Amino acid sequence: MVLPQDLRRVVILAVRPELDGGRYPVKRIVGDELAIEVDLVVDGHDLVRAAILDRAPGDEQWRETELVAAGNDTWRATIRLPALGRHLYTAIAWVDAFATWRHGLVKKVEVEANVDVELLDGAALVRAAFERGGHPALREAAEVLASDAPLVQRIALATGSRLADAVALAPDRSRAARSRELEVLVERPRAVCSAWYEMFPRSTRDDGAHGSLRDAEKRLDYIAELGFDIVYLPPIHPIGRAFRKGPDNRPEAGPNDPGSPWAIGAAEGGHTSVHPQLGTLADFDHFVAQAVGRGLEVALDIAFQASPDHPWVTEHPSWFLHRADGSIQYAENPPKKYQDVYPFDFASADWQALWTALRDVFLFWAGRGIRAFRVDNPHTKPLAFWEWCLAEVHARFPETILLAEAFTRPKLMAALGKLGFSQSYTYFTWRQTKHELETYAAQLADASDYLRPNLWPTTPDIFPEQLVHGGRPAFVQRVVLAATLGASYGIYGPSYELCEREPRFGVEELARNEKYQLRTWDLARPDSLRHVIARLNQIRRAHPALQQNATLRFHPTDNDLVMAYSKRAGSDTILVVVNLDPYHVHRAWLTLDLAALGIAGDHAYQAHDLLGGSRFAWHGARNFIELDPQQSPAHVFAIHTLVRSEQQFEYYL
């Protein structure tokens, strides 16, 4: 029989973390400790016991961790997350009749009240614990409590810790309250901290000809030297010929124009095929193996759309939206028209077959060793599809990381994160002022249970105006911000490190856009940022403080064009100071939150600039900074406490 709620005297008011009432899982990484808080109340003054039950993926039994009272009816516990996948956790709480009785007995003994009846009550409680499967010694203890043994002996037994511990192992949970089961999606560490490098394989030759995956392999040493974790390839599939776009998105293409890789599908195949000029599936497998051998992971672009030449257009015409005249609706975002792309109709009469086929695209590439995907425009597809599809992918390949390329409304971006995307592009690209950056970072921090930011200064689709005019200092400034504000970031290369900044007139895109034409790149140019970026990635790998977002703190400055922020992990502390003006020298007084830096107020400390090598001996919260953007627009300081005698410290200064 299910007990009415009013017979369960403990009421569980809240469990944290809990996302949207438990509708969606919170996110952590494998090996994390999940700190759980539970608010619960009981009428009167009876004592309560409570615990967290949790179950890892594949486990049949619940693990139990006792909740500890933290005051004001809040209880806390921490559980470990040892495996990838979806863990379950729930809170359980009940009135502890024995502990309540024992507490009352002690108070009466202290005032020398008669406790004969109380000892009989206790005997009944101990006997009940034995009957629930408790230790056999409990039966003997119950007999002693109810006997005419000396009172001192019975009181000592009743109030002793050994009896309390034995009864606690056989709790009475017949009227326990239990919260709903909640989920935590546990992913691998790279879901939180990763550095992505985007590269078009077809633009990896020096003679201007169409590059192949074998040509692209020659770029891998360069990317590894830059220190990136993931090399991300735009779509590698056959490109449609119908309505193929020319350079800079011109409506007509010449006979040798390669077209947009996002116009997926041709006679040679669709989403599970490789463009013939790039090579074969065997070439792809070789590319992946070569990347792995250099410590790189390969991420593929998943774009759920089709060119008019895609085999599915003729094999499954019902998968596409047809207009009144019978033609298939192409993609458009007025005034832009994308005649070379057909969107899918996710609500078609044959939607189940379509959804299955799209899921199988992920599974196909995962079967070839791919565990990272960048998903194009997921906000234009049904959320119900993503919830189902991503759960299917994670169930088979729980180590899969999915990056949502969703530049859309904030709540829709949040929904995609809740539904299972590991990371998300953000509006960092357009946030420029100190106020904008600090406010936006705070918003992202508030969403950390479900939205993990991946910061990109540019992409092939977006190029902010400040880089057009700010030159090399602006490029350095923005990559420092991206690499240190966020635990994950990416660049579109080699365009970014070569500071390419000629825009298409009137459009927030680069001229000679690589989406529509082949490019050649001089990686050895002396003005390249390759050494700056490589140093940033070395710093990120060496410092755990930069590998997470939870401890980001901003520090006041007296100049709105100088921003200061820190991150801390254990004894590792990083302080970043950035000149947001790419044109002029700026000076500022910093007012540092020493507690956030792990510095006692009376301790001297050293700020070691990991980018430039300079060292500063500081004391106290208020310190002076000057940054010349032509030399370096930023300091990335490692903070170290100085342990020196007074005489040595004075000499050091």
Residues acting as catalytic residues: 376, 405
Residue whose structure tokens are 């109810």: 146
CB 46 within 8 A of CB 103: no
- Backbone φ/ψ region at 95: left (φ over 0), alpha (ψ -120 to 50), beta: beta
Phi first, then psi: what are they for 221, rounded to 5°?
-60, -40
Virtual CA dihedral for 402, 410, 380, 348, nearest 10 degrees? 100
The answer to whether the beta carbons of residues 621 and 615 sit under 8 Å apart is no
Residues 6+ apart with CB under 8 A from 580: 432, 433, 434, 477, 561, 562, 563, 633
Distance CA 435, CA 428 (A): 12
Does the bond joining 556 to the residue before it have cis omega, within 30 degrees of 0?
no
Total residue length of the chain: 653
Neighbouring C-alpha atoms within 13 Å toward the C-beta of 132? 15
Separation between Cα atoms, residue 451 and residue 372, nearest integer Å: 17
CA distance 103 to 1: 32
What tokens appear for 32 in the block?
Answer: 């994390």
What's the CA gap between 390 and 501, in Å, rounded? Answer: 37
Q: To 5 degrees, how large is the angle CA 61–CA 66–CA 69? A: 155
CA-to-CA separations, 295 to 292, 308, 370, 589, in angstroms, rounded: 5, 38, 14, 41
Beta bridge partners of 436: none
Q: Pairing between strand 33-41 and 26-29? A: unpaired
DSSP three-state, residue 216: helix
Please give the Cα distance from 636 to 622 (Å, whole number).
18
Q: Tokens 């594949």 — which residue?
A: 58
The answer to whether the CB of 258 falls within 8 A of the CB of 278 is no
Q: Could you give the strand order of the β-sheet that contains 553-555, starting from the edge strand earlier in sequence?
A: 553-555, 562-569, 572-579, 634-641, 604-609, 615-619
Is there a cis peptide before residue 17, judged by omega within 30 degrees of 0?
yes
Closest listed residue to residue 422, CA positions, set 478, 487, 336, 367: 487
Residue 611 forms beta bridges with which residues? none
Whether 259 contacts 252, CB under 8 Å: no
Distance CA 485, CA 481 (A): 5
- Distance between CA atoms of 43 and 28, rounded to whole angstroms? 35
Distance from C-alpha of 415 to C-alpha of 24, rounded to nearest angstrom:
10
Burial class (CB in 10 A: 0-12, 13-18, 19+), 111: exposed
Rounded to 5 degrees, φ, ψ at 401 are: -110, 135
Q: What is the DSSP letter of 545?
A: G
In the beta sheet, which residues pair with residue 577? Answer: 564, 635
Beta strands 331-333 and 336-338 are antiparallel
Q: Which two tokens stand for residue 648?
A: 């040595």
